[in-house]
Amino acid sequence: MGRFEEGDRSKVEFQTIKAEEIKFGRNNFLEVARKVAKTPEGDNEFVSISKGFYQPDGSKRFKTSFTLPKEAEVLAEVSRALKEV
């Protein structure tokens, strides 16, 4: 349960609720976003942190991403750890 069978990924729709961009370096950025994955079985809200860069034409290209659960306690601990590192 919770795993996708081959071809099931097309049934997932991702929606960005809110996103903020942090620019750094010459053409790099981090995107911190609250997103929801919608499936026939239900919705799953999460926080995504993605790293990317701007291409010469100005469009964004994402290189890597990871997700965090939406629970306030987890996000507060991650925030605290980032400030202390």
Domain-embedded: residue 16 = yes
Whether residue 2 is contained in a domain is answered as no
What kind and span of H or E run contains 83? helix 72-84
Residue 11: pLDDT band (50, 70, 90) is confident
Task: Look up the pTM and report it.
Answer: 0.78
At residue 2, φ and ψ (nearest 5 deg) are 90, -15
Q: The domain spanning residue 72 has which CATH number?
A: 3.10.450.50
Residue 2 has pLDDT above 90, yes or no: no
pLDDT tens digit sequence for 64-77: 999 999 999 999 99
Q: Which two tokens stand for residue 72?
A: 């306030």
Instruction: Say how many domains are in the chain.
Output: 1
What mean pLDDT comes out for the span 23-36?
97
In a domain, 3, yes or no: no
3-state secondary structure (DSSP) of residue 72: helix
- Residues counted in the chain: 85
DSSP bridge partners of 30: 22, 51
